[in-house]
Amino acid sequence: MICPGGFKDIMKSLQFSLPSILHIVLISLFTLFLNRCDSSNGAKPQLKEIKKITPLVLRTIPHDNQAFTQGLLYHKGKIYESTGLQGKSSLRCINAEDGAVQSKIPVTGVFTEGLVIKDNKLIQLTWRSGNAIIYSYPDLKNIGSHRYNGEGWGITTDGKFYIMSNGSDTLYWRDDEFKVWKKTAVTFRGQPLNKINELEYARDKIYANVWFNDFIYEIDPESGKVLRLIDCTPIVKQIDSLKEQDVLNGIAYDKDKDRFFITGKYWPLIFEVKIPR
């Protein structure tokens, strides 16, 4: 095969000796040849740039800095929180206006994780026990459980299915009996997004925390592609003396007022924020 450099030398030798029309044809063929060489190098198409936005902090609410936050949700003026760690796990009901803890239910023998409400029932995941605890609403009585395989991290709902994470790049869509109906692989700039943690379904999108990450990822539920990055770095910087485990984790959405509540493990504050559409 003639290499591009050799072809250029041939073109120089022919430039003034061939009729101009043949010269144009040869240039066209040479351009086509170079394009074919470029396409054979395995270059990938350019990925669409993902927009990064910063949430607007509306106010802060006191939060128990001994709460190892694993799941957060908003419902009818209350924030419900699942806190983890063996021997310290709990389900809490918090006043969304002043942060006062109105009830705290210890959960013994397990490490609790994500939390969701659907059909007047709260579902609280456990990390490695393969058990989702069911509570009645609003009295928060333990009324049963669902079993599942693998780890439980975050959970939310689109109103029909539960959507669950397990620390991988995959979201699991479960029915009311917790049977898996489908799986969605989440990608960020064409690569798997691993360590997906707390989840919130809002505005027909999935908002996700990623372990040890200061961003919230806005995900298209159908394709699994990350659509936008919510940069929470300025918020994280407002928390003094953060330790390694004190990561951003906890997203709740108030549909009526189109506002979000976000917090982290051992954070002294919950932030009420506006995320631009």
How much is the pLDDT for 180?
98
pLDDT for 238 equals 96
> CA-to-CA distance for 131 and 275, rounded, in angstroms?
33
HSE-CB for 231 with a 13 A CA cutoff: 7
- The pLDDT tens digits of the residues spanning 234-263 come to 999 999 889 999 999 999 999 999 999 999
Asked if 133 and 145 touch (Cβ cutoff 8 Å), the reply is yes
Tokens of 29: 């063929």
**Amino acid of residue 99:** G
Q: pLDDT value at position 16? A: 41
> Between the CA of residue 10 and those of 37, 47, 83, 160, 188, what are the distances in Å?
18, 38, 74, 68, 46
**pTM beyond 0.85, yes or no:** no
What's domain 51-274's superfamily in CATH? Answer: YVTN repeat-like/Quinoprotein amine dehydrogenase (2.130.10.10)
Mean residue pLDDT of the chain comes to 88
Measured distance CA(137)–CA(146) in Å, rounded: 17
Q: Nearest 5 degrees, angle CA 124-CA 91-CA 255?
A: 75
Residue labelled with tokens 């991988």:
168
Listed by start position, the domains of the chain span 4-39, 51-274
pLDDT confidence band for 23 (50 / 70 / 90)? low
Q: Which residue has the higher pLDDT, 210 or 26?
A: 210
More confident residue, 128 or 7: 128
Quick one: pLDDT at residue 210?
Answer: 98
Give the type of residue at 141: K
What's the distance, CA 147 to chain centroid?
24
pLDDT in tens, 143-200: 999 999 999 999 999 999 999 999 999 999 999 999 999 999 999 999 999 999 999 9
Omega before residue 106 within 30° of 0, cis: no
Q: Contact at 8 Å (CB) between 75 and 250? A: no
Render pLDDT for 9-20 as a digit per residue (tens, 0 to 9): 444 443 444 445
247/9 Cα distance (integer angstroms): 61
Question: CA-to-CA distance for 220 and 239, rounded, in angstroms?
Answer: 30
Pairing of strands 51-53, 226-231: parallel
Residue range 90-139, pLDDT digits in tens? 999 999 999 999 999 999 999 999 999 999 999 999 999 999 999 999 99
Average the pLDDT over each of 47-56, 80-89, 209-218 and give the range with the smallest value: 47-56
